[in-house]
Every structure is written in C-alpha cells, then in structure tokens.
Amino acid sequence: MRSVEGPADAPDPQQVFAPFAAHGRLLIAVSGGPDSMALLWLARQWSQAGGSSIVAATVDHGLRPEAADEAAMVAAWCQKAGIEHEIARWGGPYPKTRIQERAREARYRLLTEVARRHDAAALVTAHHADDQAETILFRLLGGSGVAGLRGMQAVTIDGLTGDLPLLRPLLDWDKRTLEKVCLYNTIPFIRDPSNDDPHYARTRLRRLAGLLTAEGLGTAELTRLGRRMAGAQAVIDWAIAAQQARLVRTPLPDDSGHELDFAPFAGLPDALIAAMLKAEIAAVTGEAQAPRLDRLEGVAQAIAAGLLQGQAWRGTLSGAVLKLNKNGRLEIRREGPRQRGR
C-alpha cells in the first residue's frame, strides 16, 4: 500500500510504522517543522488504514515569541485532520546556560506526562537520517566508542522518558524527502530559526557537515557507519553475555557490593573486560550514568594487566572502589560518603 502521493522515494506509512505496531497507542511529538509534520501525516495515514490509534502533542517552550502561534498551527491542523492534540507548555524557570540541553530535558518530561494522560504506550519523534548523521559526527568528534557511534536507535528506553519507549521510525529518510511529503500533500510547516543560530553547537556542526559532505563524508556515509557500529556492538553484546554467564559473584558481608572471580578472564580483550566492569559497577552502585570512556578503558587495562601478571591493583571508578588481588578476585564496593567528598 502506498498512501503517499509524491516522489518515488517518499516513505510508505506501512513501512514506517509496521515495526512499531505492537507498542499500542502512540503519542506523536510534533514541533511544527517539516519532519514532524510529515511524521504526523504518515502516522495518520497508517492509523486510518488499520494501524494503532494515535494522539499528538506539541511543546511550547516559551523561548521564542512565535512558538505559541506555531503550536496553535499544529493544533488547528490536527483538529481538521481529526487527530487528538495537546499543547504542553514549559513554564520555566528558564536557565541562563545550557539552554538547549535543559529545554530538551523539559520537552521529554512534558511529552512523557502527556503520554501518561492519554494512555499512550510509546512516544514517537521525527528524528531522521540527517539528525542521525549529525549525532554520529558529534560523537565521533567527542571520542565516542562503538556504542556511541551507533547513533540513535529506532527503539530506546532511557532516562529521558522513564520506562516509556521512545520510537524513531524515520531514521532511514532524510529531511529533504520529508519536506517533499509535506509539499506534495499540502501539509503546513514552519522553520525554527534557532536551527540557524551559530551559538548552538549543532548549528556549527551542520556547517562543518557541509564541508565533509563535499569530501565524501555525508549523511549516507555517516549513517552507514552507524549501521556497521550497531552490528559491531551486537557482536560485543553477545560476547559480553557469554562471559557474564561464567561470572561467579559473592556478596560482601556488609552488603556494599560483591566479589567476582575474574581469574578465568585473563587474556580477554580489554574492551570485553571494560564492558563487564561497566555492567558490574552499575549493578553495585545503581547509577545509570556511565563512566567516562577514557577512565573505563584505563581501569580495564590495569585490571587486564593485573590478571595476566598476577598483581594486585586498586582504584575507583564511577562511584565504586575496585580491589583486585593477586589471585584474580575482584572486589567492587560502593564508595562511602567520605570517599565521594574527596
């Protein structure tokens, strides 16, 4: 079924949404830009053809005077299209620094609240291939490892939305194609001027991306890198699971952590030891924030060397105290208040 009138590369609503049908009722996040309006239109076509029910929401951050009119435009279009819609407003207080980051946090919090009110089982955003390429490039410049270079995933559950799944069905289509969907189907949209504001890192990155595209490192190449990194991470995850099944854990007497028999893992690649350490530290500390990659790699290298050479080692990482003895037994204990305050 092709419900979209327009160019041959226009996304098919069934192709876009069928993989997410099991999530039930969907909340579509709509800013009023061409990508989110195209997403909403595709969702409506899919829903009317027998897909899941949908509801839409727009967040008015109140940071630009025209934002209220843009939210009203989305609401008017939804009313005409027969789509239930809610405007969620961020009442502040507004930060003086890290505005985009804090606005993003507020947006997801408000959208999650709307989803709960409307019994939506998942939140859907209009992140597309160009966003994916920017994310991968941003992480590449920041020194991310394999997991980071996967870019955004089509389905995630993270701290932004609690236990509400976050869906990104448009990662295979670029912004130009989504604009075509709007133009061919007379769907109104607006352009956010903040996307051109050089004060923001992503705006500056887009200018760099143009130069890289001219050298052969454009959206297609970066998203291909992301797919390959996703495949590599799947292999790593499989290897980690196989090794974790061999772990023998002994709770510490004061219930502050546990001791692990790491001796069988002598000779494993440092990357696998690092991944295992990351998981075990999170289990002990309960902290969702991952340790800095360079610190994690340094600790993994030290422990790997200690295992091979039969040497003791001690250090701290991400809220945990780690002690490796000469026999390869590794103690992971939560840091005490005094240690944290140093």
Whole-number pLDDT of residue 47 = 96
The reported pLDDT for the residue numbered 190 is 93
In this predicted model, what pLDDT tens digit does every residue of 54-76 receive, in sequence order?
Answer: 999 999 988 888 899 999 999 99
Question: For residues 284 and 333, is the Cβ–Cβ distance under 8 A?
Answer: yes
**Structure confidence at residue 209 (pLDDT):** 74
Residue environment code for 118-134, b if the CB has 16+ CB neighbours within 10 A, otherwise e: bebbbbbbbbbbbbbbb
* Mean of pLDDT over the chain: 90
- The domain locations on the chain are 13-218, 246-340
Q: Tokens at residue 15, please?
A: 């192709």
Rounded to an integer, what distance in angstroms lies between the CA atom of residue 173 and that of residue 170? 6
Q: How far apart are CA 244 and CA 246, in angstroms?
A: 5
Backbone φ and ψ for 12, nearest 5 degrees, come out as -85, 125
Residue 38: how many CB atoms within 10 A of its CB? 29
Residue 315 phi, psi dihedral angles, 5° rounding: -170, 180
pTM: 0.85
What's the CA dihedral at 55, 58, 59, 63 to 10 degrees? Answer: 180
Q: pLDDT-based confidence at 341, cuts 50/70/90?
A: very low
CA distance 134 to 175: 12
Q: Going along 229-294, which residue ranges are E strands?
A: 249-251, 257-261
Hey, how many other C-beta atoms are within 10 angstroms of the C-beta on 251? 10
Residue type, 225: L
Task: Take residue 312 and report the two structure tokens written for it.
Answer: 């003791």
- For 220-279, write each residue's pLDDT tens digit: 999 999 999 999 999 999 999 999 999 999 999 999 999 999 999 999 999 999 999 999
Measuring CA to CA, which residue among 37, 311, 29 is closest to residue 160? 29
CATH number assigned to the domain covering 13-218:
3.40.50.620
Percentage of the chain with pLDDT > 90?
A: 74
Q: Which residues contact 227 (CB under 8 A, 6 or more apart)?
A: none
Order the strands of the 249-251 sheet from edge to edge: 249-251, 257-261, 329-334, 320-324, 313-317
Q: What share of residues in the chain are helix, strand, coil (percent, to 5)?
A: 50, 15, 35
Which structure tokens are listed for 333?
């204990």
